[in-house]
Amino acid sequence: MSRIGHKPIPVPSGVKVALQSGKIDVQGPKGKLSIAVPQGITFEQKDGVLTAKRASEEHRALHGLARALVANAVHGVTSGFKKELDIVGVGYRAELKGKVVSFALGKSHPIEFPIPEGIQVAVDKQTHIVVSGADKGKVGQVAADMRALRPPDPYKQKGVRITGERLKKKAGKAGAKAGGAAA
C-alpha cells in the first residue's frame, strides 16, 4: 500500500488543473507546469481535491511518484521553490548581469552561467545566491550546476555550497610539519 499515493492533494483557489490522458497541466499565479503521468495511474478531481488512482497492483511502484510530482507542481505554481547558495573564499563572488550570472571563483577568467527559462536568480551582497522558480526539479538542478562550478574544498572549505550544507573538514599535511624538525 502506497501511503503517499493515497494522500489527497488539496488544490488552492486560483490554481487550474487540466486532466488529460498521459499528462496533467497545472496553472497558477507563479506559472504553468505540465507533468507526464505514467501509464496505469489516473487522477480524479472533485471538491478542490486531487486523488491518484492506480489501475492494478503492478503500478504501485509509480503510484507515490506520480502523486508527489503533481503535488510538487501544485505547490510550485502557488508558492514556488527556492534554494540558497553561499560562496566562501577570498575574492570569490557572483554578479548578476541580465540573464547571466558571472562568477569569480579563483580561476583565471570569470565564469558566465546562463539562467534557464522559468528560473529567477537573485544575488545578495556578492556571496549569497537565491535560485527560485515553480519547477522543483529545475530549481534543484540549477543550484547543483552552480555548486559544481567550484565545489567546496575539503581542506580549506572554499567554494560554492548550498546554505546549511554540512562539510567534512580534512586534516592537512600534519606529518610534514612534525617530520621537518627531526630531519
pLDDT in tens, 5-33: 888 889 888 889 888 888 899 998 988 99
Q: What is the pTM of this model?
A: 0.82
Long-range contacts of 153-159 (CB under 8 A, 24+ apart): 156/89, 157/88, 158/88, 158/89, 158/92, 158/106, 159/87, 159/88, 159/89, 159/92, 159/105
Q: Taking residues 79-100, report their average pLDDT.
A: 91
How many Cα neighbours within 13 Å face the side chain of 106?
Answer: 13
**Residue 179: per-residue pLDDT:** 55
Between 135 and 4, whose confidence is greater?
Answer: 135
**Residue 116: per-residue pLDDT:** 92
Same fold, 3-78 and 81-162: yes
CATH 3.40.50.1370 fits 3-78, yes or no: no
Q: Do the beta carbons of residue 175 and residue 155 sit within 8 Å?
A: no
> So where are the chain's domains?
3-78, 81-162
**Superfamily classification of domain 81-162:** Ribosomal protein L6 (3.90.930.12)
**Residue 138: per-residue pLDDT:** 92
